[in-house]
């Protein structure tokens, strides 16, 4: 069993006006604590939030991000917690580390943050849990369960889950009735720990551990020291490359992957082009593990192999904002000419029934998250 990184130490309440307010556990997510606070007082979470923030439909929003109507001073006064302790349990501190540019912060969809896909009180996904940790006597959801580079529990080396193992509903603790524990599915009541856990992918766990540790300092990329956000920005570009190479495996991309040591058999194709943050934990783990292989090679080796493979500049989809300077230098190794059409080995035009069925499921998932573009 391995200790996991601690994002915040938790907080105790002092003389709360709501007498049964629980402390915030270490690493606990703000919304998880809100649900436990409501349940401790025998009410539904939406009843509690309608008292704190009257006239709002709080659970139709991602409560772990900041909203102008969510006055935390009112909540702090009711619960005996300090505003800074409440904010420390939201995603805000981690989002600021990932995206120092305030323009990016206003976006509803942020790289590396799992989107909930809110529609009224219903969420399409975006929250994970460890199927073993959730069976602890006092179950709760942790901040890292909303971070896209987290796919495994370091304590149990188990793959995280984002669905109920029985009815496949997205995890929505805000909809669990007050008399049930947070370890139950809100929809069917099944225990989230009722199925055997899948083993973590070691290379994805290595990526996760490295990033957690680097989040409050600098991160080494080969012989270069980068800021955390720069390192994450480059890693996200590598993931976009791997996704693209999986969907459209060109000769040049496969040549580059083989040369740098990427095991393409670990990559699962998401043929509708779902963004990385919407993929299942297993799909993300496959991508993260192989992105870790590319990141470990460092910028010099990357440029050498990209030039050898004649990778086109179009192989690497870049973010609209905040491309790190070092990546602009690395991009000089790319071929400026698109690959010859005849060199492609794209997917077959006829698809197996099972593949079509998976595509249909992914399409439904995508439609529910308002992301058709």
Give CA–CA dist 145/122, Å, rounded: 18
Q: Which one of the spans 184-192, 206-214, 239-247, 296-304 is the region binding Zn ion (CB under 5 A)?
A: 184-192
Q: Establish if 133 lies at the interface with Zn ion (CB under 5 A).
A: yes
With respect to Zn ion, which residue has the nearer C-beta, 12 or 155?
155
DSSP state of 277: G
User: Alpha carbon of 149 to those of 81, 127, 128, 286: distances in Å?
Assistant: 30, 13, 12, 11
Q: Least separation, in Å, of the C-beta of 199 and Zn ion?
A: 12
Cα 323 to chain center, whole Å?
20
Q: Establish if 163 lies at the interface with Zn ion (CB under 5 A).
A: no
Answer for which of 99, 150, 156, 362 binds Zn ion (CB under 5 A) is 156
Q: Least separation, in Å, of the C-beta of 192 and Zn ion?
A: 8
Answer for which of 29, 116, 164, 262 binds Zn ion (CB under 5 A) is 164
Q: Which of 279, 207, 206, 290 is nearest to 245 (CA)?
A: 290
Give CA–CA dist 4/81, Å, rounded: 25
Q: Establish if 135 lies at the interface with Zn ion (CB under 5 A).
A: no
Please count the residues of the chain. 373
Give CA–CA dist 312/338, Å, rounded: 6
Using CB under 5 A as the binding rule, the residues of this chain from 186 to 225 that contact Zn ion are 187-188, 190
With respect to Zn ion, which residue has the nearer C-beta, 189 or 347?
189
How many chain residues interact with Zn ion (CB under 5 A)? Answer: 14
Answer for which of 12, 17, 155, 351 binds Zn ion (CB under 5 A) is 155
Q: Which one of the spans 24-32, 41-49, 150-158, 196-204 is the region binding Zn ion (CB under 5 A)?
A: 150-158
Q: Which residues pair with 11 in a beta bridge?
A: 24
Binding mask 271-300 for Zn ion (x = CB under 5 A): ------------------------------
Q: Which residues pair with 199 in a beta bridge?
A: 158
Q: Establish if 185 lies at the interface with Zn ion (CB under 5 A).
A: yes
Give CA–CA dist 266/268, Å, rounded: 7
Element (H, E) at 153: strand 152-153
With respect to Zn ion, which residue has the nearer C-beta, 95 or 130?
130
Q: Which one of the spans 73-81, 181-189, 219-227, 238-246 is the region binding Zn ion (CB under 5 A)?
A: 181-189
Do residues 290 and 263 make contact, with C-beta atoms less than 8 angstroms apart? yes
Rg (CA), the chain: 22
- The SS3 assignment for 184 reads strand
Token readout for 301 is 């080796």
Q: Least separation, in Å, of the C-beta of 153 and Zn ion?
A: 3
Q: Least separation, in Å, of the C-beta of 351 and Zn ion?
A: 30
Contact positions vs Zn ion (CB under 5 A): 130, 132-133, 153, 155-156, 164, 166-167, 169, 185, 187-188, 190
């Amino acid at each position: 069993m391995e200790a996991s990184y601690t994002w915040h130490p938790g907080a105790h309440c002092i003389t709360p006006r709501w007498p049964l307010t629980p402390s915030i556990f270490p690493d606990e997510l703000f919304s998880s604590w809100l649900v436990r606070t409501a349940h401790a007082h025998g009410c539904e979470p939406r009843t509690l939030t309608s008292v704190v923030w009257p006239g709002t439909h709080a659970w139709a929003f991602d409560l772990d991000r900041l909203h102008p109507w969510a006055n935390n001073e009112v909540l702090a006064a009711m619960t005996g917690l300090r505003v800074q302790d409440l904010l420390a349990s939201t995603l805000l501190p981690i989002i600021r580390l990932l995206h120092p540019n305030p323009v990016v912060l206003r976006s509803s969809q942020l790289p590396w943050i799992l989107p909930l896909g809110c529609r009224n009180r219903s969420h399409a996904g975006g929250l994970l849990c460890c199927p073993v940790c959730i069976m602890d006597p006092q179950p709760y959801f942790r901040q890292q369960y909303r971070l896209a580079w987290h796919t495994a529990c370091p304590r149990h080396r188990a793959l995280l889950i984002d669905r109920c193992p029985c009815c496949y509903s997205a995890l929505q603790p805000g909809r669990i009735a007050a008399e049930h524990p947070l370890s139950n599915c809100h929809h069917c009541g099944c225990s989230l720990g009722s199925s055997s856990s899948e083993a973590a992918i070691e290379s994805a766990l290595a990526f996760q551990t490295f990033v957690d540790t680097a989040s409050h300092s600098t991160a080494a990329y080969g012989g270069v020291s980068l800021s955390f956000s720069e390192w994450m920005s480059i890693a996200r570009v590598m993931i976009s490359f791997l996704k693209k190479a999986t969907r459209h495996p060109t000769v040049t991309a496969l040549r580059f992957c083989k040369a740098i040591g990427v095991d393409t058999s670990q990559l699962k194709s998401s043929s509708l082009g779902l963004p990385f943050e919407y993929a299942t934990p297993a799909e993300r783990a496959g991508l993260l593990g192989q992105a870790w292989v590319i990141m470990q090679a460092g910028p010099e080796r990357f440029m050498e192999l990209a030039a050898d493979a004649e990778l086109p500049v179009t192989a690497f989809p870049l973010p609209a904002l905040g491309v790190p300077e070092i990546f602009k230098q690395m991009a000089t190794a790319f071929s400026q000419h698109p690959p010859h059409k005849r060199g492609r080995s794209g997917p077959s035009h006829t698809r197996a029934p099972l593949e079509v069925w998976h595509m249909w499921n992914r399409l439904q998932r995508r439609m529910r998250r308002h992301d058709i573009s």
